[in-house]
Amino acid sequence: MLNIFIIFAPLLLYPHLLKLRNKPRVQRFLVFVLYAGALVATMSFPIQLDGATYDFRSIPLTVGALYGGWPVSIMLYATLLAIRYYSGAPHILLYCLSLLPTFLLAFLAVRRFGELRLVPKIAVAVALCTLIKLVAFIIYFSGIGQLRTFAFHFWETAQTYLLQGVIVALCVYLIESLDRHQQIQEELIRGEKMKIVGDMAASVAHEIRNPLTTVRGFIQLLATVPLTETKKAEYKNLCLEELNRAERIISDYLSLAKPDPEQIETIDLNEELDYLSNVLLTYANYNDIQIRVHASRESGLTATGDRSKFRQALVNIGKNAIEAMENGGTLELRTDKRSDGPAIVVSDSGVGMTAEQIKRLGTPYYSTKTKGTGLGTMVSFSIIKKMNGRIRIKSDVGRGTEFAIVFPERSWSEERQSG
């Protein structure tokens, strides 16, 4: 049992060795260190059976050689001979001669071992481990004229051969299982990275599409509808603002690792309501949606945060509301002074959502739209939360949805100063 524990001990650290595939020299050196230690330990604790001495040195020698390659094989054989020499064992030259054929066998096995499947690998490992012990014993005992001793203890010897075959087969199976598990993990990580890249690309496209859709709508209005000079100037300014917003969105994604500091300012919710209605106007007209705007005359309808990002969140929520009304409808935008703070409300007469859909809304990659990524809504929720706001959602399936974005009476910066 002690020898078996010694042999299986390197497997505890083997998963860490698998992570060093990109550093083959370091990996081979560590394989040598582990199996050289197992080799020394097994030779230090031999087994006595009916007067004959046995040990399991061939197992770490075999496994280390097969999984470390020919450089490790050479070093393990050199370690074996060094231990034999310094232990004062007799006939060292004869022992070297008896190991030479087994080294050639190991060298041939190592060349093709990595290309084999699991079962052939187990078969090769068992055969090599058996041949190393058998060939070395026959040559060595023949050289010292004690081949009868080998034959006399045939049953005890056969038992050790059978046991070491089972052990080396189990070792190979466990190593291959660990290797396969590591490969699956790496594939999952690669797949997850590709998914993140795809989701990020979809998120960028989603965020950029909002201002571009607005710009396209106003350009169409400028080209097809007779407008006053005041309206033309207003639409041109809105187009420029939306293009600037698209540029800022791109900059935000490019600087995720080192985000720029936000421009915290006091935001008038009525002004943002007017901005939102103008931005959504062409998109709403294109989808046969009427927009109704109700600005409250209450005082203190303000919030604190980054105006650009707040507009990004509002446009995302407004566009989602329009897209929820597939057959036309009414989009209502209003500000309100509630008991817990000022609010800006976006409500639609669309398809509505179930309680389960509302619960999952704003989580990564969840969307009620078939072609949606959910990242736009997630970003919007994150922006509102960062402004210390709360989003309250009311919805009835088939009747519509209301998004109420409520901000505290006191700004976030004032709370920090008083704290």
Give the pLDDT of residue 53. 61
Q: How far apart are CA 211 and CA 371, in angstroms?
A: 19
Which one-letter DSSP state was computed for residue 368? S
Q: What angle do CA 328, 330, 332 make, to 5 degrees?
A: 150
Question: Taking the domain 1-188, which CATH number applies?
Answer: 1.10.1760
- Phi, psi (deg, nearest 5) at residue 105: -60, -45
Quick one: which of 380, 247, 270 has its CA closest to 239? 247
- Phi, psi (deg, nearest 5) at residue 219: -65, -40
Strand pairing category for 329-338 and 289-294: parallel
Between 3.30.565.10, 3.30.420.40, 3.30.460.80, 3.40.50.920, what CATH number should domain 261-411 receive? 3.30.565.10
In 3-state terms, what secondary structure has residue 314?
A: helix
Residues paired with 404 in a beta bridge: 345, 392
Indicate if 261-411 has the same CATH topology as 1-188.
Answer: no
All structural domains of the chain with their residue ranges: 1-188, 261-411
Residue written as token pair 């989603």: 206
DSSP characters over 97-128? HHHHHHHHHHHHHHHHHTTS-HHHHHHHHHHH
Give the pLDDT of residue 335. 94
Distance of CA 83 to the CA centre of its chain: 46
Q: Which amino acid is at 34?
A: L
Tens of pLDDT along the chain (419 residues) come to 777 777 877 888 877 777 777 788 888 888 888 888 888 888 877 776 555 566 778 888 888 888 888 888 899 889 888 888 887 777 888 888 888 888 888 888 888 888 888 898 999 989 988 888 888 878 877 887 766 665 556 666 677 778 888 888 998 899 888 888 888 887 887 777 777 667 667 767 777 877 888 888 888 888 777 888 888 888 888 888 888 878 767 765 664 544 455 688 999 999 999 999 999 988 888 888 999 999 998 888 999 998 988 998 899 899 889 988 988 899 999 999 988 899 999 999 988 888 888 888 876 555 666 555 556 777 788 889 889 999 999 999 888 999 999 998 754 444 444 44
Residue written as token pair 């001979």: 81
